[in-house]
């Protein structure tokens, strides 16, 4: 990469790999911006790129990490590449070692790459304990090949436990290790290095599993969710409204207005995009299997309710409970949570999504319209999954879109037979961290897929 434009294009690719959304138009704006500054003044150069490529405050840290790693003198860049090459060789050796150690009777175990990365980061004593377990079970009396799935499940449970003990920094490093690289050596070392410096340079709390957040982190989580909820309220639709500002010419209205002048375009009419604020219905699972995520799901409902005016909130376990009034009381989150926990009959009960959806469709049918986005926040563990899927199908025909935020990691979805049934009638997202929520809310949620 020799020219300035080549370097800029490469830098944009790096930002995209770090989760920053950069369009072609913004890239062109950045190129144009560089024509009016002094390229040799580093601060001006940084400011020009940041002002044209970065739209959200949470992306600024990722930009700074990438900029400081990419735009450096050749000697520093060479040293960075050598350090990264050394790290890649070590990672490859550790991966091979994990592959050789995670075997049962000479056959490799079916363990996800994510859990293998957890295994590589275990204390040596814990690694030896797991290796001892595998060796004993492999050579045990009358232990057959059919016992392998049992061993795999036990090992997955152990590694999942250790995964939950990881610090936010470790979680960020795991995410970086699983990041798909660009296949370009000069760019990949920057992507990997920037991602390893605290989760793409962002707040480590974004990557923390929400079942593990501490009490003192809840105010920060709530504040972050409020900021994210603003994105949902300002989704831009493709529709237009009339405006006096000179933006896009409204051809139809301009022709009509200029009929009096024989069709000569003398007085033009303009239009601008409408801000589309959808009606939102959110139903949140607070059953026993979801209690560990209450510190995520209740702040989510609280944040959405504080930002979105036209929202109706529900919680459910073995029945549906309307809780919109709790979140409209202008109290702080701690007070509202205490009132909800003591006043609700659903907290910690068994799950019956079929009953909850039936109540929603029968008692609150006026909320279900073609302009309604229905959010379901649940791990998809429920009684009567067939009946629940049938009720979901009925509701899906009445609303604009059903968006399911699943708090279970995607690799566990194949263990739940209900998920394929639900997936036919909704769009399901993996959502157990704020990073997932950021990614979801950056999408066009009103568009059918």
pLDDT per residue over 373-422, tens digit each?
999 999 999 999 999 999 999 999 999 999 999 998 887 788 889 999 99
Within 10 Å of residue 307's Cβ, how many Cβ atoms? 17
- Taking CA atoms, 246 is separated from 208, 243, 249, 272, 275, in Å, by 46, 8, 8, 9, 17
**How far apart (Å, rounded) are the C-alpha atoms in residues 324 and 305?**
8
Taken in order 425, 426, 427, 433, is the CA torsion positive or negative? Answer: negative
- Percent of the chain exceeding pLDDT 70 equals 84
- Structure-token pair, residue 162: 């250790």
Residue in this structure with the two tokens 């036919």, named with its chain if needed: 424
- Tell me the mean pLDDT in the region 352-372: 94
- What's the chain's length in residues? 449
Per-residue pLDDT reduced to its tens digit, 112-130:
877 888 888 888 888 888 8
- Lowest-pLDDT range of 6-15, 190-199, 234-243: 234-243
**Three-state SS sequence of 408-432:** CCHHHHHHCCHHHHHHCCCEEEECC
Q: What is the DSSP string of 57-117?
A: GGGHHHHHHHHHHHSS-HHHHHHHHHHHHHHHHHHHHHHHHHHHHSEETTEE----HHHHH
Q: What confidence score (pLDDT) does residue 175 get?
A: 61
Q: Between vectors from CA 11 to CA 5 and to CA 17, what angle results, nearest 5°?
A: 145
Q: What confidence score (pLDDT) does residue 236 get?
A: 40
- Taking CA atoms, 165 is separated from 159, 168, 169, 256, 428, in Å, by 10, 9, 11, 67, 27
Q: What confidence score (pLDDT) does residue 199 get?
A: 41
Find the helix or strand (DSSP H, E) in which 218 lies.
helix 218-233
Average pLDDT in the chain:
80
Residue scoring higher pLDDT (85 or 365): 365
Find the helix or strand (DSSP H, E) in which 329 lies.
none
Which domains are seen in the chain, by residue range? 4-71+180-196 (no CATH), 76-165 (no CATH), 239-276 (no CATH), 279-441 (3.40.50.410)
- Check pLDDT > 90 for residue 205: no
- pTM value? 0.62
Per-residue pLDDT reduced to its tens digit, 53-86:
988 777 888 888 889 888 888 888 788 778 777 8
Per-residue pLDDT reduced to its tens digit, 126-183:
888 888 888 888 887 777 888 888 888 888 888 888 876 765 556 656 665 555 555 5
Given phi > 0 = left and psi -120 to 50 = alpha, else beta, which region is 198? left
- Tell me the mean pLDDT in the region 80-103: 82
- Tell me the mean pLDDT in the region 415-434: 91
H helical segments located in 250-331? 251-257, 294-307, 324-327
């Amino acid at each position: 990469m020799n020219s300035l434009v080549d370097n800029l294009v490469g830098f944009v690719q790096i930002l995209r790999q770090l989760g920053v959304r950069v369009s072609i138009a913004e890239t062109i704006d950045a190129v144009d911006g560089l024509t009016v500054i002094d390229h040799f003044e580093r601060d001006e150069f940084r400011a020009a790129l940041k002002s044209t490529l970065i739209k959200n405050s949470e992306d600024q840290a990722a930009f700074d990490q990438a900029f400081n790693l990419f735009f450096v003198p050749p000697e520093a860049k060479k040293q960075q590449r050598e350090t990264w090459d050394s790290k890649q060789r070590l990672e490859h050796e550790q991966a091979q070692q994990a592959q050789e150690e995670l075997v049962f009777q000479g056959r490799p175990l079916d363990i996800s790459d994510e859990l293998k990365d957890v295994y590589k980061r275990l204390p040596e004593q814990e690694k030896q304990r797991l290796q001892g377990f595998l060796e004993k079970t492999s050579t045990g009396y009358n232990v057959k090949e059919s016992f392998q799935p049992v061993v795999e499940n036990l090992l997955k449970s152990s590694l999942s436990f250790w995964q939950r003990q990881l610090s936010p920094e470790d979680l960020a490093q795991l995410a970086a290790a699983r990041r798909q690289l660009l296949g370009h050596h000069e760019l990949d070392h920057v992507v990997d290095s920037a991602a390893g410096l605290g989760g793409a340079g962002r707040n480590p709390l974004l990557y923390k599993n929400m079942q593990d957040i501490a009490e003192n982190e809840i105010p920060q989580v709530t504040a972050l969710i409020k900021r994210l909820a603003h994105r949902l309220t300002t989704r831009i639709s493709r529709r237009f409204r009339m405006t006096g500002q000179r933006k896009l010419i409204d051809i139809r209205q301009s022709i009509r207005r200029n009929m009096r002048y024989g069709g000569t375009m003398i007085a033009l009419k303009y239009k601008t995009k409408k801000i589309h604020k959808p009606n939102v219905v959110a139903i949140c699972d607070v059953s026993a299997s979801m209690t560990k995520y209450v510190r995520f799901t209740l702040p989510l409902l609280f944040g959405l309710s504080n930002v979105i005016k036209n929202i109706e909130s529900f919680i459910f376990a073995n029945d549906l409970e309307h809780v919109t009034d709790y979140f409209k009381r202008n109290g702080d989150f701690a007070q509202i949570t205490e009132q909800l926990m003591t006043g609700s009959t659903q907290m910690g009960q068994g799950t019956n999504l079929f009953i909850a959806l039936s109540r929603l469709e029968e008692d609150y049918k006026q909320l279900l319209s073609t302009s309604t986005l229905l959010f379901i926040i649940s791990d998809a563990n429920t009684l009567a999954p067939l009946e629940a899927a049938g009720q979901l199908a009925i509701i899906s025909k009445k609303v604009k879109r059903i968006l399911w935020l699943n708090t279970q990691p995607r690799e566990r979805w194949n263990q739940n037979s209900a998920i394929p049934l639900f997936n036919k009638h909704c769009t399901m997202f993996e959502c157990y961290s704020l990073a997932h929520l950021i990614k979801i809310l950056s999408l066009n949620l009103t568009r059918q897929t």
